[in-house]
Structure formats: C-alpha cells, structure tokens
Amino acid sequence: MSGDAAKDGAPGPIRRICIVGGGTAGWIAAAVLAHQYQGMIEVDLVESDDIGTVGVGESTIPPFLQLLAGLGVSESEFVMATQASFKLGIGFEDWGGPGHRYFHPFGTIGQMANARDFYQIWLRAAAGGEAPPLLAFAPAHAMAEAGKFMLPFKAPDTPIAGASYALHVDAKRVARFLRGFAEERGVTRHEGIVTEVATRPDGFVDRVILNDGRSIAVDFFIDCSGFRALLIGKTLGVGYTDWSHWLLCDRAVAVQTENVGPPPPYTLAVAQPAGWRWRIPLQHRTGNGHVYSSAHMSEDEATALLLDQVVGETVTNPLPLRFTSGVRERGWDKNVLSLGLASGFIEPLESTAIHLVYRGMEYFLRFLPGTDCAPELADEYNRRVTADYEEIRDFVILHYCLTGRRDTAFWRACVDMELPPSLAQRIALFRINGTIPEHVDPLFRSVSWQALMDGLGVRPRAYHPAIDRVAAGEVNRELGAMADALAGFVATLPAHEAFLARHCPAPAP
C-alpha cells in the first residue's frame, strides 16, 4: 500500500484513491475529493466511453445546491453549463384517482415565529372551517402554480423567503462539468475497462487491472460501477437488501422531447395504471419517463403508453432501464466505498439518487480512515447511510400506500401491502395529532411529511392541546392575511422562463 505508516506501526493516512466508474456518481466523488484534499490525496478515476451510463436521473433536491456551494461553484454558471432549470417541488397528478392533484413543495409552509407550530395552528383553524388550504401558505407551491420564480435569498423579509429550490439538470452535462472541475484540480482519468480485481490475503482490494493490462494499486477504492457493483458486490461479496416487495416498480423507459411552451419550475409525476410518468423540463429539452412494475405491465405496453402521452417531438429513442430498489448491506466494506447505483437505488419518485451520492461522500469524509480502514468507522458510516436509505424508502412508499386507488391490480397491491414497521409507526403517530418524529440528519423535514399526508387526504384526529393557548380568532384572521400576502407578492415576480433568460440563459445545445 502507498500510505505512510507511523513509526509505532499505526496505520498511515490514505494517500491515493481510485474511483472505478464515472458518470454523475464518479465525478461527484472525484470533484469533492479534489476540492477538499488537493495535494494530500491523489485521485485516479477509471471509466470507459464504451460503457454507457444510466444518465436519466435529471432532477435534484435542495441539498444539491449545498454541494455546489461547498465546491465553490457558481450556481449561475452551473445552470448555464447543464442547461438547467429551477425546481420548486414535485407536482403529483391522478395519484388519488383521475383529476386528483397534490404538491410536495420545497421549503417552509407558513411564516409564524415558531414554524413547528404552524401546522398545528392550521389544523385547529381547518377543523373549524376557517383556514385556506395548507399549500396556500407554501411559497414554493405558490410560485410553482403561477409559473413564477425568484431566488428566495434575494427576497428576504418577503412572503417567499422561506421557499427552497433545486435544479432540473442534464445528467451527462453534469458529469462533464464535474469532470472538468476535478481534472483541473489534479484528478487523473484513465480510459479503460476494469477486467480483473486483485485482492490481498486480508481480503482488501489491492489493485484493479484494465483491459489493456495497466494496473492501478492504491490505498482505497470507490466503486461507482453502477448496478454491476464490480468491487463491493462481485469482488467483496457484500449482499444487497431487496425492497421490491414494498417498492413494486422495477422498470423504466426514458425519452427526451423538444420543449413545448415555457418550462414549469417543478417536476411532474403523473400516476399510470402500473406506476407513474415523469416530466422534467430543462432549458433546451424535456426529459420524460415511465416508471412501472414489470409484474403488471410489459415493456412494450409501458413504452407505447409513454410515447402516447408525451408532449412535443421526441429527440431520442426510448431507453429501457431495469432496477431493483434496495440498499447494499454494507456500503463501505474493507477499503471499498460504494456510491450511486453500486450502493443502492430507490425508485426515482422523489429524485434522491444524486443526493445519496454526495451524502455518502459527506459521511465518508466525516469518518475518513487511515490505511487500516478501521471497521468501527465503516460500521458508523453504514449505520448512517442505511438510515438515510430507509427514510427515503418510507417516504416514497407513502405516496403509494395512501392513494386509496384500487382501479388496477398494481394499485390494489400498493394499498394492500404490509408496510415497513417504521412507516406504519409514522402514519399512526401522525393520525393522532400530527406528530412527526425527526431523526439525526433527516432529509425530509416535517413540512414534507405534512404536505404529503395532506395531499393524500390524511388529517390527524386532533391538534396538539398546546395550541389552545393561542387566541383562535386573531390567528384565523392572521392566516387569511398571510395567504393573501403570499399570493399578492408572487403575482409581482417574473415568470420562470423570464428569470432564466435574464440571469442564467443556457447557450444553444
């Protein structure tokens, strides 16, 4: 190993890391390492132009912007380079039946001094029939519905200050952008395919051997080889926990279309007979896809249904994809860390795939080991990452199990399934008085669960008794004024398309 050892025999620091696989996952890992450990850790990345990447996950969530900020990347330059548009949340159509709509907004709901109490106050007013709908108080939803956009931090002390946002991006352009960023900071890219992995007597990976005979031996490896899981799965034999009995969708077909009309500032998810359909608008085109259960629909049927519903001329051929929702039993084992599809996958309903990559890197650097890769550090990493996957799993299952749809075999199976105990407990607590437990470093805060529960028709039986300390009449008047102020302010904002054109227009593709 190339790491230096102390005189007393203690493990030395990691000096060289090899990332196997490129794409979004590989280049996020490379960019983060290059930025934080330039001159300290040498980074190699192996990828082949002959191996395609999935590259259809084109929607992010707000923490993605923290990654860009942490790298010191200009947000506007990134938006232009990746043909991105802004995303204020996800709109859901037909999930409770034809014509049913709800929305998962990013950011806050309500503006009261104690934000944690807002939902409880709204519950009391709603119980008396004196409150506007819950989402009338969500600034991200108000902007999305009106097709408007403004950076919330540019409008402090206004009704939209509590909104958050993310990006719709071209995944291949993201990888290209991050590759340039990483290579400028010393990352070495090796064109080639890993054909052999050599291990040491203690089971650690020693080196990878490429198809042209080159050998790369380093202290630590990051497996970004996608569903192949070349290092973590095939070499180290780490198993995979299959969640497909809860997340029934295991196939997707994706296609890109020309834009028709201005791009709305949100992702659209439309329920289908055996799954759902996405629409992700970018500046230069729109990404479309159909996520479905192969037990309830064939690939030909799913493709035909997608092509029948997309708007605009197709600019690519339909791309079929297969996946199994679940998580690696150990995302970090010995001297191999897995990221992206090699680590796990949860169907893309809440756009969490890219998030889990940089979340994994964040945890890994928090527990950065020496060359011995102390198992205690790996254990804590695996505990935290698995908790993240389980939280996202439960949040995604919630969309399916509470729909009430029973019009097809797929939806009946979703409604009738036995839930994970952790999710069943969350729903039970919420039904009592809106209680939502939050864990360490949660991804989905209380407002996300509240928006989903409300959108799917779940209303707690009571509100928290402490709310009775607040005078009802005065608060009800304040709620009405708050909703009116938000709607009035949003009406003054520029259209999403106009904001893009003025501040971060993408060059012609």
For the domain that residue 198 is a member of, what is the CATH number?
A: 3.50.50.60
Q: Is the pLDDT of residue 13 over 70?
A: yes
161-170, 195-204, 465-474: least confident range? 465-474
pLDDT average, residue stretch 175-191: 97
Query: Which spans in 327-471 are helix H?
Result: 353-366, 375-401, 409-416, 421-433, 446-455
> What pLDDT, in 10s, does the model give residues 62-92?
999 999 999 999 999 999 999 999 999 999 9
For the chain, what percent of residues have pLDDT higher than 90? 84
- 153 and 174 co-located in one domain: no
pLDDT at site 445: 84
Name residue, tokens 């029934």. Answer: 248
pLDDT at site 476: 80
> What pLDDT, in 10s, does the model give residues 188-199?
999 999 999 999
Nearest of 509, 389, 480 to residue 443 by alpha carbon: 389
264 within a domain of the structure (yes/no): yes
Nearest of 13, 25, 26 to residue 373 by alpha carbon: 13
CATH number at residue 297: 3.30.70
29-33, 322-326, 464-468, 498-502: least confident range? 464-468
101 within a domain of the structure (yes/no): no
pLDDT average, residue stretch 197-225: 97
502 within a domain of the structure (yes/no): no
Domain count, the chain: 3
pLDDT at site 468: 82
Q: Is the pLDDT of residue 482 over 70?
A: yes
pLDDT at site 6: 44
Nearest of 317, 256, 253, 319 to residue 284 by alpha carbon: 256
- 305 and 268 co-located in one domain: yes
> What pLDDT, in 10s, does the model give residues 259-305?
999 999 999 999 999 999 999 999 999 999 999 999 999 999 999 99
* Burial annotation 262-280 (CB, 10 A radius, 16+ → b, else e): ebbbbbbbbbbbbbbbbbb
pLDDT average, residue stretch 402-421: 96
pLDDT at site 1: 43
459 within a domain of the structure (yes/no): yes
- 194 and 294 co-located in one domain: no
Q: How big is the chain by its Cα radius of gyration, in Å? A: 24
pLDDT average, residue stretch 339-350: 96
pLDDT average, residue stretch 406-427: 97
pLDDT at site 2: 45
- 174 and 235 co-located in one domain: yes
**Domain finish residue from 322, 348, 365:** 322
- 159 and 195 co-located in one domain: no
Q: Is the pLDDT of residue 9 over 70?
A: no
- 347 and 286 co-located in one domain: no
- Residues with a catalytic annotation lie at 87
> What pLDDT, in 10s, does the model give residues 91-117?
999 999 999 999 999 999 997 645 457
pLDDT at site 440: 61
Q: Give every CB contact of residue 323 below 8 A, 6+ residues apart in sequence.
A: 227, 250, 251, 252, 341, 345, 347
Q: What pTM does this model have? A: 0.94
Name residue, tokens 């300290």. Answer: 40
For the chain, what percent of residues have pLDDT higher than 70? 95
Binding-site residues for FAD sit at: 22-25, 194, 341, 350, 354
Q: Is the pLDDT of residue 382 over 80?
A: yes
Asked if residue 159 lies in contact with residue 111, where contact means CB atoms within 8 angstroms, the answer is yes
> What pLDDT, in 10s, does the model give residues 303-323?
999 999 999 999 999 999 999
Query: Per the structure block, which two tokens stand in for 69?
Result: 């900020």
- The angle, 0 to 180 degrees and rounded to 10, between the axes of the packed helices 353-366 and 375-401 is 160
407 within a domain of the structure (yes/no): no
d(CA 324, CA 296): 15
d(CA 436, CA 82): 37
Query: Per the structure block, which two tokens stand in for 123?
Result: 């519950």
**Domain finish residue from 290, 322, 354:** 322
d(CA 452, CA 458): 9
Give the model's confidence band at 508: pLDDT under 50 very low, under 70 low, under 90 confident, else very high. Answer: confident
Binding-site residues for 7-chloro-L-tryptophan sit at: 87
pLDDT at site 196: 97
pLDDT at site 3: 44
d(CA 289, CA 340): 20
pLDDT at site 5: 45
Per-residue CA distances from 447 to 57, 108, 244, 402 (Å): 24, 7, 27, 17
pLDDT at site 8: 53
pLDDT at site 478: 84
- 426 and 491 co-located in one domain: yes
d(CA 215, CA 218): 10
- The side-by-side arrangement of strands in the sheet containing 215-217 is 194-199, 205-210, 215-217
Angle at 240 between CA 327 and CA 195, to 5 degrees: 110
Q: Is the pLDDT of residue 134 over 80?
A: yes
Q: Regarding beta strands 332-333 and 220-223, do their DSSP bridges make them parallel or antiparallel, or are they unpaired?
A: unpaired
- 232 and 356 co-located in one domain: yes
- 427 and 382 co-located in one domain: no
- 281 and 295 co-located in one domain: yes
Binding-site residues sit at: 22-25, 87, 194, 341, 350, 354
- 174 and 219 co-located in one domain: yes
Nearest of 461, 453, 459 to residue 95 by alpha carbon: 453
pLDDT at site 51: 65
401 within a domain of the structure (yes/no): no
Nearest of 132, 154, 128 to residue 142 by alpha carbon: 132
Q: Is the pLDDT of residue 4 over 50?
A: no
pLDDT average, residue stretch 195-205: 97
pLDDT at site 469: 79
Average pLDDT, the chain: 93
- 178 and 303 co-located in one domain: no
84 within a domain of the structure (yes/no): no
Range of the domain at 303: 251-322
205 within a domain of the structure (yes/no): yes
pLDDT at site 442: 65
